[in-house]
Amino acid sequence: TQLLEQSPQFLSIQEGENLTVYCNSSSVFSSLQWYRQEPGEGPVLLVTVVTGGEVKKLKRLTFQFGDARKDSSLHITAAQPGDTGLYLCAGHAGNMLTFGGGTRLMVKP
Amino acid sequence: DTEVTQTPKHLVMGMTNKKSLKCEQHMGHRAMYWYKQKAKKPPELMFVYSYEKLSINESVPSRFSPECPNSSLLNLHLHALQPEDSALYLCASSSQLAWGETQYFGPGTRLLVL
């Protein structure tokens, strides 16, 4: 069983601060997705990374896939209250998707 | 268009009821999934369909019965559920059941079993 560990589990910050969420595994993943989920809603895809060392930017969000494709990070610059939610990383090993435990982010105005 | 729709959005049922959850996508995806998500936990895979055939059943109790009537539709039939089955049920689809295919999720059905 491939395991993905996310850290931190919870993060409460003030508007305007920067933050980084980590997703780590001892296994190699063929690709990794980041999702954001609001309470009672389904996960919404933010990005897919497939190449070791890849960096993708989505406005204030920067995603990085580790060189060995075992880890990933999500960095948010100047967080806003609208960024509040559950951030999930999910890695592909073969056909199936393995989810990390999630990072619950709260950005206070 | 990357939309997966699910109905109903909310469902309350008794332990003796029979109900069904419905999922639909029109992206031409040939793999569809059911997940169960408890509060403050990540989604857990239940079933996977590939080309309308059940490919994976993650040891789900028989009170949950999936059905894929065509390539766009996925149902989850519920019968004799237990209160601990209360959760958010998520449907997802991907282009196919293959290496690294991105899964797109629906908004979920929030189920409460009384």
Per-residue pLDDT of A17-29, as tens digits, reads 999 999 999 988 8
Q: Which residues of chain A does B103 touch, with a Cβ-Cβ cutoff of 8 Å?
A: 33, 45, 90, 97
Q: What is the pLDDT of residue B42?
A: 92
B105 pLDDT band, cuts 50/70/90, is: very high
Handedness of CA B75, A46, A28, B51 (dihedral sign): positive
Distance from CA of A40 to the nearest CA of B (A): 7
Question: Cis peptide leading into B66, omega within 30 of 0?
Answer: no
Distance from CA of A42 to the nearest CA of B (A): 4
Q: Testing the interface with A: which of B56, B104, B112 to mutate, by most A Cβ within 10 A?
A: B104
Which residues are CB-neighbours of B70 under 8 A, at least 6 positions away? B52
Find the residue in B nearest to A50 (Cα): B100
How many other CB atoms are there within 10 angstroms of residue B88's CB atom? 21
Half-sphere CA count of A35, side-chain side, radius 13 A = 26
B102 pLDDT band, cuts 50/70/90, is: confident
Note the pLDDT tens digit of each residue in A34-72.
Answer: 999 998 899 999 999 999 999 999 999 999 999 999 999
Q: Chain centroid to CA A2: how far? A: 17
Note the pLDDT tens digit of each residue in B17-67.
Answer: 999 999 999 999 999 999 999 998 999 999 999 999 999 888 899 999 999
Instruction: Tell me the C-alpha distance between B78 and B25, whole Å.
Output: 21
